[in-house]
Amino acid sequence: MENIKRKFTSDFKLKVILEALKEQQTLAELSQKYELHPNQISVWKTEFLAKAKQTLELKKPKPSDSSPELEQMFAKIGKLQMELDYLKKKLS
C-alpha cells in the first residue's frame, strides 16, 4: 500500500474545525465524513484554538504609536463624516 501524503486547503481545515467545535458530531463521525484520522482533526482544532488565543492577546497599538498616515486617514474620515451629516440635514 502506497503512503501518499494528502494536502488540505485552509478552507477545508476550517470547515472541519468549525464542525468539531460545534460538537454536534463525534470525532469518529467527522473522521468518517471527511475521511480523516480523528487525531488529525484534534491536532487542527488544538492549533486553531491556540492561535485564536494568541490573536486575542495581541496588544492593540496605542494612539501614540500611530503613524502620520494613519492620523491623516482618521482626519479625512472625520471630515467626510461631517460632510455627510451636513448633507443629510440639508436633504431632510
Q: Which domain holds residue 20?
A: 1-58
Q: How many domains does the chain have?
A: 2
Same domain membership, residue 54 and residue 9: yes
Q: Are residues 46 and 9 in the same domain?
A: yes
Are the beta carbons of 16 and 44 closer than 8 angstroms? Answer: yes
Same domain for 54 and 25, yes or no, is yes
Q: Give the pTM.
A: 0.57
Same domain, 13 and 34: yes
pLDDT tens-digit profile, the chain (92 residues): 567 788 999 999 999 999 999 999 999 999 999 999 999 999 999 999 988 888 887 766 665 666 788 888 888 999 989 988 888 888 87
Cβ-proximal residues to 48 (8 Å cutoff; 6+ apart), any chain: 14, 17
CATH for 16: 1.10.10
Q: Note whether 67 and 88 are same-domain residues.
A: yes
User: Do 48 and 65 belong to one domain?
Assistant: no
